Amino acid sequence: MRALYPGSFDPVTLGHLDLMQRASRLFDEVIVAVLRNPGKTPAFSLQQRKRQLGLATADLANVSVESFDGLTANFARRQGCAVILRGLRALSDFEFELQLAHTNSSLCSTVETLFLATAARHSFLSSSVVKEVARFGGDVSHMVPAGVAEDLDRHFNSD
Ligand code: ADP
């Protein structure tokens, strides 16, 4: 069974990576899909985010990295994914994620959304928190995969 793990990953965190590692043991194939969202101005370009994800998942043989625009449900169908994977960190994620899951199932009834609970040690992590800490020069090396902390430092502190 093939699963799609969609997100912005701006940038990928150890919370995302933990979810990918666990998903890689549950599914035959996992496609990590970076959403190209014209409504948001990301810190990292699509190419940078794909590179960061590619490096972070290099040792996971059944995980690949793609990008897409448009509806997640359509992309999942086109890729032959029976499952859309999302992570739940706290109750605050639940309302939005449930709405998204219902929307996707109304668009494509054959794709199921499955939620994985975040590892407790990563439950405080989000891409926004990581960017906020890096912006003010804090150490993010325990929050992101190897190499991403350097990318953040270059992004926020080079002039
Ligand atoms: P989006 O902008 O689509 O929410 P994100 O890149 O922020 O994309 O997150 C993608 C998915 O990963 C979401 O389901 C989110 O709940 C989940 N996620 C985010 N942070 C973590 C974390 N620390 N641990 C596990 N899952 C996470």
Average pLDDT rounded to a whole number, residues 34-61: 95
pLDDT of residue 13: 98
Cis preceding linkage at 38, omega within 30: no
pLDDT of residue 92: 84
Distance (Å) from CA 80 to ligand 1 centroid: 22
> Is pLDDT above 90 for 32?
yes
Quick: pLDDT tens for 81-119: 999 999 999 888 899 999 999 999 999 999 999 999 999
Quick: pLDDT tens for 127-158: 999 999 999 999 999 999 999 999 999 999 87
User: 3-class DSSP state for residue 30?
Assistant: strand
Distance (Å) from CA 137 to ligand 1 centroid: 23
Q: Which of 89, 130, 133 gets mutated to test ligand 1 (max ligand atoms within 8 A of its CB)? A: 89
Rounded distance between C-alpha atoms, residue 66 and residue 53, angstroms: 10
Pick the residue with more confidence: 138 or 40? Answer: 138
15, 22, 141, 150 from 87: Cα distances, Å: 9, 11, 22, 25
Q: Which residues contact 63 (CB under 8 A, 6 or more apart)?
A: 20, 23, 24, 29, 30, 31, 32, 57
Name the residue with the closest Cα to ligand 1, atom 9. 7
> Is pLDDT above 80 for 36?
yes
Ligand 1 neighbours, Cβ below 6 Å, are 7-9, 13, 15-16, 19, 86-87, 89, 93, 118, 122, 125-127
Name the residue with the closest Cα to ligand 1, atom 20. 126
pLDDT of residue 40: 85
Pick the residue with more confidence: 118 or 159? Answer: 118
Distance (Å) from CA 110 to ligand 1 centroid: 23
What rounded mean pLDDT belongs to the chain? 95
Q: pLDDT confidence of 44, banded at 50, 70, 90?
A: very high
Pick the residue with more confidence: 50 or 92? Answer: 50
Enumerate the active-site residues. 16, 40, 89, 127
pLDDT of residue 38: 82
pLDDT of residue 152: 96
